[in-house]
Structure formats: C-alpha cells, structure tokens
Structure 1
C-alpha cells in the first residue's frame, strides 16, 4: 500500500467485516468525551494526540486488520499517516467516520450527550467572526479578528489540521471521565 493513499471502508462494509472471522480492530481516535458520547461497540479509544506521540509503540502492537474511526474522517486519516509511517500495515479508515456510520443506520453505543469537536469549532469560529464584525462598527480594528479567524479556517482546510479544535479538545468538557494513557491503549490492543 502506498503510504500517501488511505484505504477507506464504508459503514456497511465495516458491519459486514465485523461479523467475519477476521474482524478488524476498531481504533477510535476522537477525544475521550466524544468517545463516551457515541462509539462503535468493541472499539478502542486512543485519542489522536496519543497516536501521534506513540505511533511506533502502537504500530508494534497492531496485529491484523485495523479500522481507524473519528467523527468525520479527518483525524482518522491523520492517525493512518502516523501509524503507516511507523510501519503499521492493514490500516483502513471508516469513510465519513461516526457521522456516516450513524447516518447509515449502523448501531452505536450512546452515553452522555455532547457536541462533536467539529461542531464546537464551528460555534466558536462563527461567534468570533460575528462578534468582531459587530464590534467593528464601534471599533474598526476589530474586523481584523474576523480576518484572522477566516485565515485560520482556510489554513485548517489546506493542512487538514485545526489549531482551534486542538485547543478545544483540552477543555474539561471534552476530556471525558478518565484520560487514556499509552499503557492503557497498548494493553487494550494486546487483549
């Protein structure tokens, strides 16, 4: 497999593979809070920052097919790149993430309801833009904040990263009950 290419699996294909004798290991790279809100039964939560920081250790613990899952697919692709660079094989990404999985009518386990990180980013970015435009009526320089947010969103799209999302993920609301450690993740992968 070319390391620049990300293999995708649809929600329907994932469900079919899950009942197969060689069912894939599901790794959900969202925040613990997002995972607690809704996740695919049997998936292991290893947040993206942990995957990126410990890709070589985690790649060594992967045995057999693995499907990476996030909210919409972007973070799972980033995890795919990190793990592939560390030597992991047989990796695929759930096309469209949990959002597509639930939209396709596939089952998820639900917990405490929370907003997805992408939705939080849209709320904060939109509020900053609207607020700075309104404030610029009295203080004209406030319009530069709207321009900065717009530039940040364009950069996020071009680089497939999101500094605002990374910052919001650190808030207590998004941390969940117990943080995931690399030792927890490796133990879950081995069992």
Structure 2
C-alpha cells in the first residue's frame, strides 16, 4: 500500500493542468497548519458523513463544477483535496486547476493516511 501511495504521490506531483502544478501534502503538515488550508473532501456524501478530516467541506468530485461559485474567492487559497484512494481527488484537483485555482495539493494517503496517522476524525 505504501508503494502505491508513493507512486501515486509522485505521479500526482507531476500533473500539470492549466499551468498549475498539483502537489502533495503530508497529513502531519496538514494537522500542524489546518487553519491555513481549505480542506475539500471529494468523496460521496455518505462517505463524508461516516467520518472526515475536521473542518473539511464535502465537494463530491463528480459535482465539483456545481461548487465553483462557492469556491470562486478561494482561487489563490492553499487547498488540499482527499478521497479514499486518490483517484477522485486527482480528478477534482485537475478540474479546479483548469478553472484557475493555483495552490492545489493532494493529501498523501488520503483519508486512510489521515486515520493511520492517528488524527481525529469528525462526524
């Protein structure tokens, strides 16, 4: 699993979309500076309600365009996205990048990585 996460992190770091490089963020870094990040949980509403990173907003990846008006003022905000495995988060990050969002990151290990690090889960 760690190898898959590492490979995905390297791949996602190399994604270039709309001129924005999409980076990764370690769960420890997010925990230490959560107030400086807009945290987007791109999983389904059901997954979100089962448990999420504290303070995360639910913006399902397949409906990300519907949330663009609400996120319009955050185009230069540091944003971290996560899902269960990284696939949906990468898709949502690419969509946001295409809309001009400039500081996009994927949470390393996604929700399982957050939980494995022992951090609190909000319900």
Partner of 1:17: 33
Structure 2 length normalisation: TM-score?
0.76
Q: Is the 8 A contact 1:71 1:98 kept in 2?
A: yes
- Which runs of 5 or more residues in structure 2 are unaligned? 1-14
Partner of 2:106: 93
Q: Which has the larger radius of gyration?
A: 1
C-alpha spacing 1:84/1:59, structure 2 compared with 1 (3 Å): farther
Partner of 1:107: 120
The number of residue pairs the alignment matches comes to 106
**Which of the pair has the greater relative contact order for Cα pairs under 8 Å at 6+ separation?**
2
Partner of 2:44: 31
Question: For residues 98 and 79 of structure 1, what CA distance do their matches in structure 2 show?
Answer: 15
Q: Is the 8 A contact 1:6 1:92 kept in 2?
A: yes
Higher helix share: 1
Return structure 1 stretches of 4+ with deviation > 6 angstroms: none
C-alpha spacing 1:58/1:89, structure 2 compared with 1 (3 Å): farther
Higher strand share: 2
